[in-house]
Amino acid sequence: MALKGKLETVLDLKSSPEKFLSLWKEQAYQVPNLTSTNIQGVHVLEGDWVTPGSIKVWNYTIDGKAEVFQEKIELDEEKKIVRIIGLEGDVLKIYRVCTGTWELTPKDQGSLAKLTLEFEKVNENVPVPHNYMDFVISMTKDIDEGISK
């Protein structure tokens, strides 16, 4: 059984790639307001809200359990890519690697978001993180709904 893997899906978003990227680039502090059932809070650990390489800590609920996730975000505005790289936290106790990526493609109205969750399990007994993928899908849909109004 492979320890490394990735899950992928494509979501149809109402928001433009620019609007979605802008949220992650300049207003990540708004994310808990847009998806409060998934994310209860976020704060900057190192850096600030807009400087590349800044580290943020997220408080979220998955499967009815409160967890914490420390990450840094990489943005490629030209290619319209947002990548969240896990550094520490609950999910990294069972996955050595947990990286979420949105690749955005503009449409006449809105965009398509190819969502990829890359992972590496700490051992063969750890399940494929379908629950984390479902979490990110739900979070993405909430964010899209909020920023497309």
Q: Along the chain (149 residues), what's the average pLDDT of each consecutive run of 10 residues?
A: 91 97 95 97 96 95 97 95 97 97 97 98 96 98 95
Which of 64, 77, 95, 84 has its CA nearest to residue 136? 84
Q: Which domains does the chain carry? A: 4-147 (3.30.530.20)
Q: Within a 13 Å sphere around the CA of 12, how many CA atoms are in the beta-carbon half?
A: 3
Q: Is the dihedral of CA 12, 100, 72, 75 positive or negative?
A: negative
Give dist(CA 34, CA 145) in Å, integer.
8
Backbone angles phi, psi at 22, to 5 degrees: -60, -40
Tell me if 144 sits within 8 A of 14, measured CB to CB. Answer: yes
> ∠ CA 17-134-15 to the nearest 5 degrees?
20
Q: Note the pTM of the prediction, 2 decimals.
A: 0.94
| 137 three-state secondary structure | helix
Q: Is the dihedral of CA 10, 15, 21, 25 positive or negative?
A: negative
What pLDDT sits at residue 32? 98
